[in-house]
Every structure is written in C-alpha cells, then in structure tokens.
Chains A and B, each alone.
Chain A
Amino acid sequence: GENVEQHPSTLSVQEGDSAVIKCTYSDSASNYFPWYKQELGKGPQLIIDIRSNVGEKKDQRIAVTLNKTAKHFSLHITETQPEDSAVYFCAATLDYKLSFGAGTTVTVRA
C-alpha cells in the first residue's frame, strides 16, 4: 500500500515568516494529494489539495507543489499568523483510501 512520510515533525516560525512542510509518497499511481489542518480537539479540515495533472496550486497564503517524478509534494504557508498554529497532515491516494503522514506541529511565535 501507499506509504507517506512527512517532515519536519515540529516547526516553529516567527509570525510573518514562511513555513514549509514536505512529504514523500511511495506509490507512483497516487493521483490526489490533500492537505489537512487539525486543531486541538477537532477533526482534520481540508485546506488545499492538488491532483497529479497539476504542478502547483495557490490559495491566498497557502500553496502546494507536486513533483511526480520525485514523488514528493510540499505545503508552503506565507506570512504566517498565530491562527496558523495547528497540526498539518499531508495525504495521498490513488482511489478513496487516504494514506496520511504523521503530521507536523506548527507553532507561530508572536
């Protein structure tokens, strides 16, 4: 099955700086890559996703890039704000079964 690795496990950034989280996947057939944000006591919330026919996607301060050859994808958050502090998960799938990374705890320092 699909195996997703996510780095780093923790990330501390100064407010206003950028944050980058990287993921690799093992199954070259995977074609859908969502990113979820999970706050304490809540379920994961989709923040952005990308499909295999697209190399980059942006939504305001959030962007995701996909390199299918290298089988890795990254999340970029610019101009970080305190409300960006949360756990972020990447995931990959070729059908309906999402395989998640272990998560990155992002802390934005004021």
Chain B
Amino acid sequence: GAGVSQSPRYKVAKRGQDVALRCDPISGHVSLFWYQQALGQGPEFLTYFQNEAQLDKSGLPSDRFFAERPEGSVSTLKIQRTQQEDSAVYLCASSSNRGGSTDTQYFGPGTRLTVL
C-alpha cells in the first residue's frame, strides 16, 4: 500500500512568513510523529499524536511551531514567523499501534524548508 506522503517536498520562505507542511500517514495508522532533521544530523523529535490527540509536544522548539491532526488522519505542521534557524527537513512518521515502544515508525520523504 501507499506509504507516508508529505507535501510540499520543497518550500522556500522569506523570513517572517508563515508556512504549513502537510503529512498523510499510512491509512489506518493511529500514531503520527513529526521530526526535524538539520543538515548532516539525525532527526529530532518534535511532537506525537495518537489519533487526533496531541499527547506530546515537548520537542517543539518554540511557540511559533504548532501541529494539528483534527480528524485523526492528515496532520499539518505550521511554523509562524519563520526564522533562518527553522531551515531543515521536516519528517513525518506514522505507526500502526498506540505509540508503544516497539512500534515501527514509517517515515515520509520529508519537506525541505529553506528560510531566506
């Protein structure tokens, strides 16, 4: 079946603009995760949803970052007033169960955000 999809694949924003990044998880997957990957680094956890509930947002770097998953399927990561340090690849992952420690997380291709 289809994997995790993300759009847009590339986004260029001027400093101060707002951006919205979309994630379509694997159909039926309960858990959804957002990670941020800086150039040459491993992904870093941002936030976790179980269905529509955001259970953990401890990794969001500032209050300019906001994520939602209103119907328990598609998720949007929004960044307000973008800054140059927000430039990174934003990865979405989903897993089938309820976020248990042994659930395999399947990643999408990511959205590369460049803030000028």
A-side interface residues toward B, CB under 8 Å? 4, 6, 31-32, 34, 36, 41-46, 49, 51, 89, 91, 93-103
CB distance from B42 to the nearest CB of A (A): 3
B34-72 contacts to A, CB under 8 A, are 35, 40-45, 48, 56, 59
Do A96 and B99 touch (CB < 8 A)? yes
Q: How many A-B residue pairs have CB under 8 A?
A: 65
CB distance from A50 to the nearest CB of B (A): 10
Cβ 8 A contact of B48, one of A46, A91, A97, A100: A97
Do A43 and B107 touch (CB < 8 A)? yes
Extra inter-chain contacts (17) besides given A31-B102, A44-B107, CB under 8 Å: A32-B101, A46-B105, A46-B106, A49-B104, A51-B102, A89-B42, A91-B42, A95-B99, A95-B100, A95-B101, A96-B48, A96-B101, A98-B45, A100-B42, A100-B44, A102-B41, A102-B42
CB distance from B115 to the nearest CB of A (A): 19
Closest 10 CB pairs of A and B: A100-B42, A43-B107, A96-B99, A44-B107, A43-B109, A97-B45, A32-B101, A32-B102, A89-B42, A43-B108
Given A89-B42, A103-B40, A103-B41, decide whether A98 and B105 contact each other with a Cβ distance below 8 A: yes
Do A34 and B103 touch (CB < 8 A)? no
CB distance from B45 to the nearest CB of A (A): 5
CB distance from A39 to the nearest CB of B (A): 10
B-side interface residues toward A, CB under 8 Å? 4, 31, 33, 35, 40-45, 48, 56, 59, 91, 93, 95, 99-110
Cβ 8 A contact of A100, one of B43, B59, B109: B43
Q: Complex: how many Å from CA A102 to CA B41?
A: 5
Closest to A51 in B: B102
Q: Which residues of B contact A43 (CB under 8 A)?
A: 4, 91, 93, 107-110
Do A31 and B101 touch (CB < 8 A)? yes
Residue pairs across A and B with Cβ atoms less than 8 A apart, 15 shown, are A4-B42, A6-B42, A31-B101, A32-B102, A36-B107, A43-B93, A44-B43, A46-B106, A96-B95, A96-B99, A96-B100, A96-B103, A97-B48, A97-B56, A99-B45
